[in-house]
Structure 1
Amino acid sequence: MNSGQKKRNFQIEAFKHKVVVDPKYADKTWKIIEHAIHEIYNHNASGLSFEELYRNAYNMVLHKFGEKLYSGLVATMTLHLQTMSKSIEAAQGASFLEELNAKWGDHNKALQMIRDILMYMDRTFIPSTHKTPIHELGLNLWRDNVIHSINIQPRLQNTVLDLIYQERTGEVINRGLMRNIIKMLMDLGPSVYQEDFEKPFLEVSADFYRAESQEFIECSDCGDYLKKAERRLNEEIDRVSHYLDARSEEKITNVVEKEMIANHMLRLVHMENSGLVKMFLDDKFEDLGRMYSLFRRIPDGLLTIRDVMTTHLRDTGKQLVTDPEKSKNPVEFVDLLLEKRDKYDKIISSAFGNDKTFQNGLNSSFEYFINLNQRSPEYISLFVDDKLRKGLKGVKDEDIETILDKVMMLFRYLQEKDVFEKYYKQHLAKRLLSGKTISEDAERSLIVKLKTECGYQFTSKLEGMFTDMKTSQDAMQGFYAAHGSELTNSPTLVVQVLTTGSWPTQSSVACNMPAEISALCERFRSYYLGTHTGRRLTWQTNMGAADLRATFANDQKYELNVSTYQMCVLMLFNSSESLSYKEIEQATEIPAADLKRCLQSLACVKGKNVLRKDPMSKDIGADDAFSVNDRFTSKLRKVKIGTVVAQKESEPEKMETRQRVEEDRKPQIEAAIVRIMKARKVLDHNNVIAEVTKQLQPRFLANPGEIKKRVESLIERDFLERDNVDRRLYRYLA
């Protein structure tokens, strides 16, 4: 067709001439079709000519007898369904559902054949007259004449619900038959399924589980009850997958969850000797996992578990950190904290699906109770000190890394990180100066972790300590290169020169060293100050160590590894047989606390008692007398005599450290105030407190009273001023 040609519409019209129709045509034709429908329902369809029947139905519609054909179909089908209904009603016992299923199958087959015969009516007459399509009509008639029959409807409902009850009580039922019956109800429409089955099914299920849960909870512990609840829930999900509508799953599981879990939630959680706390105590990971998976299905279920967990954690944690017995040994104290953290980490990862909200609850609980003990920063540093000292047998590098990572986890909880820094610096100094560290790599690894956590400023001084150790080695090489020939018969001297700002500030107490050592020290001083200008040296004898050659009775010779203080004490006995405590104190001028520890380690430790004390006791008294223990023997030629370590600070020392920390905080608080005020120009008192606290939180928890004092100090020094009208407003003075 050329594009220029006009488009034609074709239409097929009926013949113009009038077709003469037999007046009895409609009745005759309907009789043929009616007979065929009877034959179909009577299982005699094999002898029918479906082509001829289709043509007859087609002609009836064409000749405007569609109404007669439709109403005849309704009447005939209704007749057969009423007969089927009576047959189903007559069925007894188990055969009732079988008969219903069989007749439903027959009706569906018949409906398909009838629909084939009446296809033309279904496609033309029915839509134009807004009547119900044949398939839907067949379902509706089945519903009205069979399913909703007064003798079938209640019986069907009771039978189906009774079979489900039997299955719940452990009996085996015909699931295939149940699937067909339920499918039939679903095919009849959502309202039939819901009204005739689902609604009563949910009601009786609620009653069943209400009664069963009450019975279970009276005779089961929490773990067993949860197993039963989980099994029931899985059974219902399985039941839905086998023969119920998939949309029923949420409804029936909600029933089980409500009746078996939600209604007994608090009783289960707090059940004596088997509830949630008991599960925590006994490491019942499987039961905890089951409780988590069941409780997450119900409103506030996980919140309830989390609240109990955090309350229990806080209570037990508080007991741990405030128990004087557990606080006696700092290493054991931190070990207990790490054990608790590992335990709950494992619970959250293996039982609570790594739930972030539980992890947050764990962290907030630890932060709460760790900070209840003011000594936690000191104890964590002492724990690190213990692990990083030499002599940890069989500890691999990766094990040390794991320990350090765990320590960092506890460190994050500390509100007073600057207090930890104070102690850590002291302990690191002792390890470096005595050479008692498991590895420099491990030391540096922890400093990297601290730097990552708190920034460069936190660790700059710690890194300076390592630098000093290296430069000290170089200084000693230079000293012996310059004076080595003159020192052939002198004791060997090793000096570590420490930068004052990097190392812990030590109160410099003069200790009287033996003459030969004192002369050697003076020679080093002259060398060092001669090679460096503008420097000053102060001897820190309390931080040193010495190796002494000692000869006892029967010419027994040993090499003693001692502290500088111990060396000063022992060398007094080269010129004296016996000395009193007071004489030793006067001769050495060692501070009393250090001298007592020094003498305890020399006279009161079995196997290391190179001195004899009179009277013999562990405590050192002012009138005690000391002499060389001629009977001293040891299997080792080299004997290391450690000082009786004051692992924890004494109360006065603790107060002194706290005072130093408070002093160190003052400039930090002032710097934060100035930074904030410089940016904001004008700010009220409460916001200054809030912003300073927030800014300093990574290092310590600032005291509002101290912040107020620092503000007053800055006002006095003309950094800030008060507003003339509102005295609570501060202004920054540029």
Structure 2
Amino acid sequence: MKEFQIEAVKPPKLVGVEVAEKSWKILEHQILVICNHNKSNHSLDLEELDRNAYKMAWHKCGEQPYSGLVSILTSQLEKIATSLEDYDGALFLEELVRKWTAHIRAVEVIRHVHMYISSTNKTKCTYVQIIRNVHMYMDGSYVRTERTPVHELGLDLWRDNIVRRFKIQERLKYALPELVQRERRGEVINRGLMSNFVKMLLFFGTPVYRNVFEAPLLNVSHGFYRGESQLLIKSRGCGDYLKETEKRLSEEIERVSNYMDRMTERHLINIVVDYMIQRHVNKLAHMKNSGFIGMLMDDKYEDLARMYALFKRTPNGLGVIRKGIAAHIRNIGTQLTEPERLNDPVDFVQGLLDKRDKYDKIINLAFNNDKMFQDAFNSSFEHFINLNPRDPEFMSLFVDKKLREGLKGASKEEVEIVLDKVMRLFRYLKEKDIFEKHYKQHLLKRLLANTSVSEDAERSLISKLKTECGSQFTSKLQGMFIEVKSSGDTMKQFYEATGHELGDGPTLAARVLKTESWLTQSTTTCNLPSEILTVADRFETYYSHSRKRRRVTWQTNMGSADIIATFGDGQKHELHVSTYQMCVLMLFNSGDGLSYKEIEKATNISTSDLKRCLQSLACIKGKNVLRKEPMSKDIVEDDMFFFNDKFSSEFYKVDVGTMVEFEFEEETRKRVKVDGKHEIEAAIVRIMKAQRALDHRNLVSEVTKKLQSRFSPDRVEIKKRIESLIEREYLKRDKDNSELYRYLK
């Protein structure tokens, strides 16, 4: 095999000053030809260029071509700058971009420098490639250690001679923001031109971009949006104003994405928000007819959502809305609790539910389920719902109405929705114990009269109340359902044992409950008609013999009856009445024209119950089976009552019913107050039994916490109950600290 020997490259001979000067003259001439944009390459000897550049670099003569290149490029850029000053308006910007595009293209090519010129591709070389090859040797030797690389040098010279030239920079500071302003006013601009300018400025670093473009743009933006907000706030309603603001924000964001640096977006948004929203928050929120109150009243959920999104960008915007809406809800609640609006408890509670549904929808659709808004709404509802002391009673009446007739035909899911809504209102109540008393009374009536539309619904509500109030409330109610069901079997056994035929005289359907199941119901009675008393005595005798050691006590205030009444023209109607109403009506079988006092003496019904009973029978149009003289809505002792022969109804069955029992509220509260004392004492004993010793402050706090699911105990009453327990020797004070209590039992 033949051996080859590679010899080291021999450096050219050292050259003198004359030879170096001659080489530079050749290079200078060719560079000037290129800088003057002579695109024909026939006058360029590329091999000679390469040879002379290599020769000067090898012998470390780089200073002369480097400084010469700086001088040539500086001179050329001075000419470009002077020519640019002769252009106006859009032509100035277009020419500047054209010059910059050519320059940056050269810089990008220089970055990908190669070691040698391709001798086979001479005719396709551009002047940028030629400059690249002429100076590659300087980049590889002299420039690498002593000066800025050639490709960076070109950029620095453009920046210093073009961008930083005072006249050009001042024109840029005006022209570029003016283009943006024209676009804001609705004109169409050359976004590609703007994009190229921004790229050019960013090429020289963020400080150049900020000084030449961003700072002037932000300055004119302040003025633009100051004037825009003042114009719109005078001529637009809140909803339209917010739409325009949202549009402006979207435009600025889209504008930045097209031809600005991303860091400018934050500054522009802050300017829009400051002038369009922050400085007008209160005025917008409370704008007459179109502010948030107008939006609430007119169900403008989109406008509210827009207000929420825009106000959220400000430090105090959402706080203004929350406070305003909370005050509005309280004001609405105060109006709802005015006396003239409390005539119909069911309508009143339904109105509360409708309001709650409306504001739930607003929170969901407009306020993104913001927890702070939910808390503000809940606080406002709790405030005004507790303004009316009769709200617990009204809620119970509403539930009673729904469970007796309002949920007929409803699916299980629909029933649950209604009950859940009621429970939401129930949670706002501070006097939950008052509701419990009324609810238990109404539940008893539904169970005894078998008027509930669904046992499942009854049990579901009891389960929900148990979750809220504890098992103490529901423990006895569970047994009531069982006892009411077993009463049917008891009555069947009674009729079988006595041989009484159905339809043979009055028919009795008794519901037998244990005394403890009647809860707070007081024992009341009246003088039953002889026909009813006979069968009632028969049942009482049967029950006492069949169930040893049990005694029957009749609760006539809880009963109902169906009686057949024949009127003057022989027309018959089946009347569904209470036991009291039955006793009164059956008096007219033996005579007509009875006074109030005669009825009271014959029936022995309490005054309040009797007046309510007579009002239902004589004062309600369409159900007035009795006639009162003199005719009025109030019942007095001098009134006379007559059987109404002219009564008529399109229905055979007529539910006479009883007027709403508002008069029981004071009595119920008295019972609740007594029961509350017992509950406070029980809570104190349970807490002290577990703790053994506790100071007064912590004991009061623990009792309040334990009972708050049922009612809010008064601190003075807690102190009284503590004193009572001390007197009865359940507790005692510590000898050394009178504020410390110890458990004794």
TM-score, scaled relative to structure 1: 0.91
The one-letter amino acid paired with 1:96 is F
1:100 Cα deviation from its structure 2 partner: 0.3
**Contact 1:54-1:119 at 8 Å conserved across structures:** no
**Contact 2:107-2:152 at 8 Å conserved across structures:** no
Per-residue CA deviations over 1:572-603 (Å, capped at 9, x if unaligned) read 23333442221221111011222222223333
Distance 1:46 1:680 in 2: 105
2:233 alignment partner in structure 1: 217
1:547 Cα deviation from its structure 2 partner: 1.9
Instruction: After superposing the two structures, state which structure 1 stretch, 165-174 or 665-674, moved more.
Output: 665-674
The one-letter amino acid paired with 2:308 is Y
1:97 Cα deviation from its structure 2 partner: 0.3
Residue 685 of structure 2 is aligned to residue 669 of structure 1: no
- Of residues 21, 31, 53 in structure 1, which corresponds to 2:14? 21
- Of residues 622, 635, 642 in structure 2, which corresponds to 1:620? 635
CA 1:267/1:616 → structure 2, altered by over 3 Å: closer, same or farther?
A: closer
2:213 alignment partner in structure 1: 197
2:119 alignment partner in structure 1: none
Per-residue CA deviations over 1:277-312 (Å, capped at 9, x if unaligned) read 222222222221111111111112112211111122
* Superposition RMSD in Å: 2.6
1:285 alignment partner in structure 2: 301
CA 1:581/1:85 → structure 2, altered by over 3 Å: closer, same or farther?
A: same
1:324 alignment partner in structure 2: 339
Equivalent residue runs for 1:26-425 within 5 Å: 26-44=20-38, 47=41, 57-115=53-111, 116=113, 117=132, 118-119=135-136, 121-122=138-139, 125-129=142-146, 131-321=147-337, 323-390=338-405, 395-425=410-440
1:331 Cα deviation from its structure 2 partner: 1.4
Distance 1:572 1:334 in 2: 39
1:190 Cα deviation from its structure 2 partner: 0.4
Instruction: After superposing the two structures, state which structure 1 stretch, 144-153 or 525-534, moved more.
Output: 525-534
Residue 507 of structure 2 is aligned to residue 489 of structure 1: no
SS at match of 1:639: strand
CA 1:707/1:290 → structure 2, altered by over 3 Å: closer, same or farther?
A: same
SS at match of 1:560: strand
Aligned residue pair count: 716
The one-letter amino acid paired with 1:195 is N
CA 1:618/1:108 → structure 2, altered by over 3 Å: closer, same or farther?
A: closer
Residue 657 of structure 2 is aligned to residue 646 of structure 1: no
The one-letter amino acid paired with 1:677 is M
Distance 2:694 2:68 in 1: 92
Distance 1:307 1:120 in 2: 74
CA 1:510/1:351 → structure 2, altered by over 3 Å: closer, same or farther?
A: closer
Per-residue CA deviations over 1:207-263 (Å, capped at 9, x if unaligned) read 221122122212222222222222221221121111110111011111111111111
CA 1:632/1:91 → structure 2, altered by over 3 Å: closer, same or farther?
A: closer
The one-letter amino acid paired with 1:705 is V
SS at match of 1:721: strand
**Contact 2:225-2:272 at 8 Å conserved across structures:** yes
CA 1:573/1:41 → structure 2, altered by over 3 Å: closer, same or farther?
A: same
CA 1:254/1:479 → structure 2, altered by over 3 Å: closer, same or farther?
A: same
**Contact 1:543-1:564 at 8 Å conserved across structures:** yes
1:719 Cα deviation from its structure 2 partner: 2.8
1:10 alignment partner in structure 2: none
Residue 466 of structure 2 is aligned to residue 460 of structure 1: no
The one-letter amino acid paired with 2:603 is T
Per-residue CA deviations over 1:549-571 (Å, capped at 9, x if unaligned) read 33344544433322211222222
SS at match of 1:612: strand
1:696 alignment partner in structure 2: 707
1:355 Cα deviation from its structure 2 partner: 1.4
1:484 Cα deviation from its structure 2 partner: 3.1
**Contact 2:278-2:314 at 8 Å conserved across structures:** yes
SS at match of 1:501: helix
**Contact 1:261-1:294 at 8 Å conserved across structures:** yes
The one-letter amino acid paired with 1:20 is K
Distance 1:17 1:170 in 2: 70
The one-letter amino acid paired with 2:73 is M
Instruction: After superposing the two structures, state which structure 1 stretch, 162-171 or 254-263, moved more.
Output: 162-171
CA 1:567/1:112 → structure 2, altered by over 3 Å: closer, same or farther?
A: closer
**Contact 1:40-1:110 at 8 Å conserved across structures:** no
1:316 Cα deviation from its structure 2 partner: 2.1
SS at match of 2:262: coil
Distance 2:73 2:677 in 1: 98
**Contact 1:41-1:110 at 8 Å conserved across structures:** no
1:194 Cα deviation from its structure 2 partner: 0.6
Instruction: After superposing the two structures, state which structure 1 stretch, 703-712 or 669-678, moved more.
Output: 669-678
**Contact 1:693-1:701 at 8 Å conserved across structures:** yes
**Contact 2:222-2:271 at 8 Å conserved across structures:** yes
Distance 1:306 1:715 in 2: 48
The one-letter amino acid paired with 2:168 is I
**Contact 2:89-2:175 at 8 Å conserved across structures:** no
* Identity, % of aligned positions: 57
CA 1:106/1:566 → structure 2, altered by over 3 Å: closer, same or farther?
A: same
The one-letter amino acid paired with 1:540 is Q
Distance 2:66 2:566 in 1: 129
Per-residue CA deviations over 1:450-508 (Å, capped at 9, x if unaligned) read 23333333322333332221121222122223223578734211000123333342222
SS at match of 1:542: helix
Structure 2 unmatched ranges of 5 or more: 1-5, 114-131
**Contact 1:217-1:225 at 8 Å conserved across structures:** yes
CA 1:526/1:136 → structure 2, altered by over 3 Å: closer, same or farther?
A: farther
SS at match of 1:389: helix
**Contact 1:545-1:561 at 8 Å conserved across structures:** yes
**Contact 2:441-2:521 at 8 Å conserved across structures:** no
Instruction: After superposing the two structures, state which structure 1 stretch, 185-194 or 475-484, moved more.
Output: 475-484
2:540 alignment partner in structure 1: 525
SS at match of 2:339: coil
The one-letter amino acid paired with 2:527 is N
Distance 1:127 1:536 in 2: 117
Distance 2:671 2:364 in 1: 42
CA 1:542/1:50 → structure 2, altered by over 3 Å: closer, same or farther?
A: farther
Distance 1:392 1:615 in 2: 40
1:184 Cα deviation from its structure 2 partner: 0.8
The one-letter amino acid paired with 2:383 is Y
SS at match of 1:502: helix
Instruction: After superposing the two structures, state which structure 1 stretch, 166-175 or 542-551, moved more.
Output: 542-551
Instruction: After superposing the two structures, state which structure 1 stretch, 20-29 or 361-370, moved more.
Output: 20-29
1:629 alignment partner in structure 2: 644
Residue 424 of structure 2 is aligned to residue 428 of structure 1: no
1:3 alignment partner in structure 2: none
1:704 Cα deviation from its structure 2 partner: 0.5
Distance 1:18 1:516 in 2: 143
Distance 1:16 1:634 in 2: 129
Instruction: After superposing the two structures, state which structure 1 stretch, 23-32 or 490-499, moved more.
Output: 23-32
The one-letter amino acid paired with 2:712 is L
